[in-house]
Amino acid sequence: MDAIVSGSHGDPFGVLGPHRKEDEWEVRAFLPQAMDAAALVDGVEHPMRKVRTEGFFVATLKNDPGQYRLRLTLWNGGQAEIEDPYRFSPLLSDFDLHLHGEGTQYESYRTMGAHLVECEGVRGVRFAVWAPNAEVMSVVGDFNEWDERRHPMRMRAAGIWEFFMPGAGEGMNYKYSVRSRVRGYRQQKADPYGFATENPPKSASVVCDVGSYGWGDHEWMRRRHDHNKFDAPISIRSSPRLMDARAGRRESLAQLSRACGEAGRLRL
């Protein structure tokens, strides 16, 4: 419990969520944003005990709570009803993890990063990242006020960490909070598989629905094989503008890019 409230627990699913305890069930949740909480099971409200002042709540039930929800009384006096992310099962398949482990997951962008998915009828975002040297990984973002303690991830095989965030959606900013095995060093990192990002100097990744993106390169794709054949001749030349661009002159790089496009050059 100390590790949960301090954000240093490497196996949060072993503590949080629904757990059988002898002849009863317990629902455990760490909710530092809540003054009070209750578990909603089939529309019936079961009050939760606050066992730690930092916001660790426990509800004792007679039966398996199933697809329960949490009703919160926030510190500002407001009410909120949320899904408990720690009641959901893993989403990445063992086969995907096996391919990643042997280095043959050639379409890893389909599993890694942030993907809009639906789990047990609940829409949200599935996060997955490879961090074999981390002892704790948390996802932080607009959905949890960037609190590194609230959503530690589930460690899977081959160094992959996974988490389903119910209710998260497109356009939300996020990062991964990494706690290293070396001296507990912690830092927030952007998603290496992120499909969108904030404009610099900001650096958060952005949840993006890649399936809805409208590509505008259909004509280029149609003509690509005619202009990029392996047996076709090529012309290679050097340009003073390229040397200027390598020296850090951005205006020269922009001019060179325009000139190459106008000349029909394919590589720079």
Q: CATH number, domain at 105? A: 2.60.40.10
Residue 223 lies in a domain: no
76 and 59 both lie in a single domain: yes
Q: What is the pLDDT of residue 224?
A: 78
Domain enclosing residue 243, as ranges: 231-263
Its pTM stands at: 0.81
122 and 58 both lie in a single domain: no
Q: Which of 68-72, 206-210, 240-244, 253-257 has the lowest mean pLDDT?
A: 240-244
55 and 6 both lie in a single domain: yes
Contact residues for 250 (Cβ-Cβ < 8 A; gap 6+):
none
Q: What is the pLDDT of residue 257?
A: 73
More confident residue, 227 or 143: 143
103: pLDDT strictly greater than 80: yes
146 and 111 both lie in a single domain: yes
121 and 165 both lie in a single domain: yes
Residue 219 lies in a domain: no
Amino acid at 83: E
100 and 207 both lie in a single domain: yes
52 and 140 both lie in a single domain: no
247 and 163 both lie in a single domain: no
Instruction: Give the percent of the chain with pLDDT over 90.
Output: 72
Q: What is the pLDDT of residue 265?
A: 64
Q: What is the pLDDT of residue 258?
A: 75
Contact residues for 220 (Cβ-Cβ < 8 A; gap 6+):
none
pLDDT tens-digit series, residues 199-250: 999 999 999 998 888 888 888 888 877 766 777 777 776 666 555 555 556 5
Compute how many other C-beta atoms are within 10 angstroms of the C-beta atom of residue 127.
27
157: number of CA atoms within 13 Å, CB side? 12
Residue 218 lies in a domain: no
Q: Which two structure tokens, joined as six digits, stand for 101?
A: 């482990």
110 and 187 both lie in a single domain: yes
**H or E segment at 3?**
helix 2-6
